[in-house]
Every structure is written in C-alpha cells, then in structure tokens.
Structure 1
Amino acid sequence: MMKWIGMFSAACTGMMLAVLFILWAFNDFEALGVGGHGLVALILGVVVTTGLGIGLMALVFHSDRSDHDEVVGH
C-alpha cells in the first residue's frame, strides 16, 4: 500500500515539474515580473504546498482503505 502512495506522489510531482518546465520554456516567467530570488521562492512554495497536499490526501486514502478509522470508531 505504501508503494502506491510513493508512486502517486512521484507522478504528481513529476507532472507539476513538467508544467513548470513548459511554462519556463515558453516565456521564461517574464510575465510574473519578479526577480530571481522571488521566482525561486515562488517555485519552492508551490512545490512544498503541492507536496503537502498530495501527502495528506494519500494518508486520507490509506487510512480509509486500511480500515483504521473503523477500528477507532468502535
């Protein structure tokens, strides 16, 4: 079960990085109007926030499928 969570997280992270790479390749993020440090902070913020969301959702699905919630409820 944990292998599925790792593969799901890696796939989502890969897709997110691919979208960021495509955006960078087409317009070099010039439309954002931020400097290098701001751009790094923006990208890290998006990656960390998305990773946290993916991890929490994976834990919710794992908890539901493993019936840990039912054991605690009874």
Structure 2
Amino acid sequence: MRPPVAAHSLDLGEYHRELTRQCNGKSSLTASWRREMRALSIAAALCAALLATGYLIWRDSFAWPRIDLPLHGMIALGIGVVLTFLLGAGLMALVFYSARRGYDDLADKSSDSQNGDHNA
C-alpha cells in the first residue's frame, strides 16, 4: 500500500476520500477515533468553562469586603475544607465500589423477599 497523499495538496474531503480508497473502502475515521475526539472535545469545553468560572470568581473577589481571619481560623477553615472533600470522595468511592461488586443488587433482592413479594 502506498503512503497517503500529502494533506496540503488536497482539501480535507478529497484527502479523506483518498485515504478511504487506499484502505480498500474502509473508512479511515473509525468509531473509536470519533469517540476519543468527542471525549477530548467535551474535556476541552469543561476545562474552558472551569477556567472562565475561576477567572470570574477571582475578578469579583476583589469587590467583596475583606474579612480579617486570624491564622488559627485560616488553618481550621483549610482543614475543614480538606476533610469535607475527603469525606465526599470516600463516600463516592464506596458508592462505586458497592455498585461494581453487586452489593446493591443483593440488598434489593433481600428487601423484596422480606416484603412478601414472591411474584418477582
């Protein structure tokens, strides 16, 4: 099989048709590649939204009144934020672990049999 044509000599439609012809009619744009590009596009859009939100929060934070928080208060606030985040992450990990191991299904079946629902 000869190498694909240089993209700069043709427009993208002709380039894709030439690649398809060289690959014996099989499309060079596979479904997995399309899924990867879609996921990459979504990730890029989410990153852009996160950056824009961060910028707006940073810009507007200068308009808020200043709060003089002593060092001990800042440390307590930081520890509280970190522990709250860890608690949420741990609980989400338990939810995913429980769902993957099938513990939720077992609990659901046992509750049906305890309620007297034997028709299921």
Structure 2 length normalisation: TM-score?
Answer: 0.35
Q: Which structure 1 residue ranges, 4+ long, deviate > 6 Å from structure 2?
A: none
Unpaired runs of 5+ residues, structure 2, are 1-65, 110-120
The number of equivalent residue pairs is: 44
Greater RCO, CA 8 A, separation 6+: 1
Which has the greater radius of gyration? 2
Distance 1:55 1:61 in 2: 10
Aligned to 1:61: 96
Matched, 1:52 2:95: no
The CA RMSD over aligned residues, in Å, is 1.2
The one of 73, 98, 106 aligned to 1:71: 106
Q: What SS does the corresponding residue of 1:43 show, helix, strand or coil?
A: helix
The alignment-based identity, stated in percent, is: 45
Larger helix proportion of the pair: 1
